[in-house]
Amino acid sequence: MVPVFIVIAIVIITLCFWQWLLMYQRFNTTKHIELAAVNISKEITAHIETRILALSRMAQRWEVRSGTPFEEWKADATNYVRDYAGYHALEWVDNQYCVRWAVPNSEIKTVEILNSLLEKHRSV
C-alpha cells in the first residue's frame, strides 16, 4: 500500500514540476520576444533618424545659403539615393508644389505623375 502512495506522490510532483517548467518557458519566451521587439524598434529608429539627419543637413545648407547650386544639390541627392537603400529618387519641390529638381532625373514620368498629384493640392 505504501508504494502506491509514493508512486502517486511522485507522479503529482512530476506533473507539477512539468507545469512549472512550461510556465517558466512561456515566460522566458515572452521576455525574449519583448527584448527583440525593443531592439528592433531601436534599430529602426536609429536608421530613420540617420536618414532624417542627412536630409536635414541638406535643408539647413539650403537655408543658410538661401539656396543650393543645382550641381551641389544633385551631388548630395545622388549620394543620398545611392547610400540609402529603398529610395528611388529625391526631389526638390518648391513652395508652389512643383517638382523643380529630381535625382535620378531619368524618372521624368515619376516627376510628371507627382506634379499632377500635387496640382490637386495647389488648387485647394
Instruction: Give pLDDT, residue 41.
Output: 96
Per the model's pLDDT, the better-predicted residue between 16 and 97 turns out to be 16
Would you say the C-alpha torsion 114, 78, 59, 42 has a positive or negative sign?
Answer: positive
Euclidean distance between CA atoms 94 and 97, whole angstroms: 5
Instruction: Give pLDDT, residue 18.
Output: 96
Instruction: Give pLDDT, residue 67.
Output: 86
pTM of the model: 0.57
Q: What is the mean pLDDT of residues 7-36?
A: 96
Answer yes or no: is pLDDT of 31 > 90: yes
What is the tens place of the pLDDT at every residue in 86-98? 787 888 888 887 7
Answer yes or no: is pLDDT of 48 > 80: yes
Euclidean distance between CA atoms 73 and 114, whole angstroms: 20
Q: What percent of the chain has pLDDT over 70?
A: 82
Instruction: Give pLDDT, residue 109.
Output: 58
CB–CB of 84/53 below 8 Å?
no
